Structure 1
């Protein structure tokens, strides 16, 4: 049985209904971030599902040195704290090095370890020792069964509040594929598993100095993932993805979310029997 992981009033795992982790790839500005948070809060409340708001204060692994990275640690955390307070939502963001862990833990409800850093022992240990829920994205270079080692590092550091996220595996140049078996395999660790559908359709470096993406496949992959019995979906969303400063090609427009979520919840209810 997959354990339950509690984040405020949101519960992942334990055969509970699907949870949505959603928000813009990066914090572009405060007003946009608050508008997206308000929309997501209203939508998920109307559907009766849990929501964790996601946005990055610093995208440290962009394709180009000139790419937009976000407002930085201090300003980004201030904005996330405002989202957390005004909308009563748990928030999640990435940490990229040890210096970010302590200040991030003062605001974040879930500390996320980026896929490229999923084997970084010191980062995993420091994050675990904050006592926060930790979400580890599976590296694009890792087999799903290898994630037991990340789990082992976190548990050895005294933290069992762990989420694991699938975001596709490298397949040739500038392409990712999702092996749906990985969702089942990672749940065998006992940790709730999230499917990051929008990053799974990313084409890393596919636009030369930026990543491309194929958002038209997010719905199909999400439906397939939910049918395996996962515990949460991770979607990057935006008011106008074509104008987004980060990950626009694989982000979903807000207007598509209601219909898509209703489909996902119908499948989730069949699979989990609620």
Structure 2
């Protein structure tokens, strides 16, 4: 086990490293939105000297309703993410939902993400681990943080210790999540860098009928609280040029034009906490 995760030749996440940012739109809607978002985030990260991993899903396989947007097509979406990688020299994070997706996704993605709902799926984790790519495993909303030790072991037993563990809130009754900040320290003690997912932690699952609701006004305060624990190595934020028109998670994504101010404040706080 290691307290540092190597994402690329340039980016390490964990002990002794600057705060890393994992950001991008929830799902690949089209090339224009993805490239526009990536270009803006790249400009901000260069200005603030923050390591950036660009994230977006090629498919949303866990939507509340059968009528919700799912994908523009896996191959088309992956090619757009590959374009981001090559055009802006950014590492990519995207998630898989089936074992058979791991190999083709690994050709593009530097970090393969295991969704929170699927974090106990042994075969899925093992398929991702075998690619040799770094893994970001999201803690299920139904799991205790200490239980992530057994989840992580499914990857490390295959010789892949390059893991991130992500906190994204815990189910609290119906249509609500809370964040127990103790969980970040508990997962850090397992020996892996911890990520805090600020926007999904502000989600109200199923709280808007056929889609999930959200309280995006709490994403930034929660991100600051996570950094204040001293156990947060990276912040995960979904952002969109026009969240109200986003095809997925429109209730929680943060406006792209607010990201520079948000990231500047998070960087300043992280530097203070780590000094």
Q: TM-score range by the shorter chain?
A: over 0.9
TM-score by length of 2: 0.98
The answer to whether residue 233 in structure 2 is matched with residue 235 in structure 1 is no
Q: Distance in 2 between matches of 1:57 and 1:191?
A: 26
What do residues 138-192 of structure 1 show as CA deviations (whole Å, max 9, x unaligned)? Answer: 0000000000011111101110000000000000000000000001100011100
The within-5 A match list for 1:102-113 is 102-113=103-114
Distance 2:73 2:57 in 1: 9
Matched, 1:161 2:150: no
Partner secondary structure for residue 94 of structure 2 = strand
- Identify the residue that residue 39 of structure 2 maps to in structure 1: 38
What residue is the counterpart of 1:4 in the other structure?
4
8 Å contact kept, 2:106–2:133: yes
> In the alignment, what sits opposite 1:149?
150
User: How many positions carry a matched residue from both structures?
Assistant: 273
Q: What TM-score does the superposition give when structure 1 sets the normalisation length?
A: 0.98
Separation of aligned partners in 2, 1:198 and 1:24: 11
Q: CA deviation at 1:195?
A: 0.2
2:48 is matched with: 47
- In 2, the alpha carbon distance for the partners of 1:93 and 1:117 equals 14
- Runs of at least 5 residues in structure 2 that lack an aligned partner in the other structure: none
90-99 vs 67-76, greater mean Cα deviation: 67-76
Question: In structure 2, what is the equivalent of residue 253 of structure 1?
Answer: 255
| Residue pair 1:2, 1:188 contacting (<8 A) in 2 also | no
Deviations 1:64-114 (A, max 9, x none): 011011222211111110000000000010100011111111111000000
Work out which of the residue numbers 262, 266, 269 in structure 1 matches 2:268: 266
Q: Contact 2:2–2:161 at 8 Å: present in 1 too?
A: no
- DSSP-derived class of the 1:57 partner: coil
User: Which position in structure 2 is the counterpart of 1:70?
Assistant: 71
In the alignment, the residues of structure 2 paired with residue 18 and residue 76 of structure 1 have an alpha-carbon distance, to the nearest angstrom, of 28
1:84 is matched with 85
Structure 1 counterpart SS, 2:207? coil
Task: Report the 3-state secondary structure (helix = DSSP H, G, I; strand = E; otherwise coil) of the residue aligned with 2:80.
Answer: helix
Preserved contact between residue 167 and residue 197 of structure 1 (Cα < 8 Å): yes
Structure 1 stretches of 4+ with a deviation exceeding 2 A read: none
What's the counterpart of residue 174 of structure 1?
A: 175
> Alignment RMSD, CA only?
1.0
- The residue correspondences of 1:204-223 to structure 2 (distance < 5 A) are 204-223=205-224
Q: Contact 2:35 / 2:84 at 8 angstroms: preserved in 1?
A: yes
Where do 5+ consecutive residues of structure 1 fail to align? none
Contact 2:57 2:94 in 1 (8 A): yes
What is the alpha-carbon distance in structure 2 between the residues aligned to residue 201 and residue 213 of structure 1?
Answer: 6
Inter-partner Cα distance in structure 2 for 1:147 and 1:255: 35
User: Contact between 2:2 and 2:162, CA under 8 Å: does it hold in 1?
Assistant: no
Equivalent in the alignment of 1:194:
195
Whether contact under 8 Å (1:2, 1:15) holds in the other structure is: no
Alpha-carbon distance between aligned partners in 2 of 1:101 and 1:26, rounded to the nearest angstrom: 18
- State the alpha-carbon separation in 2 of the partners of residues 78 and 100 from structure 1: 14
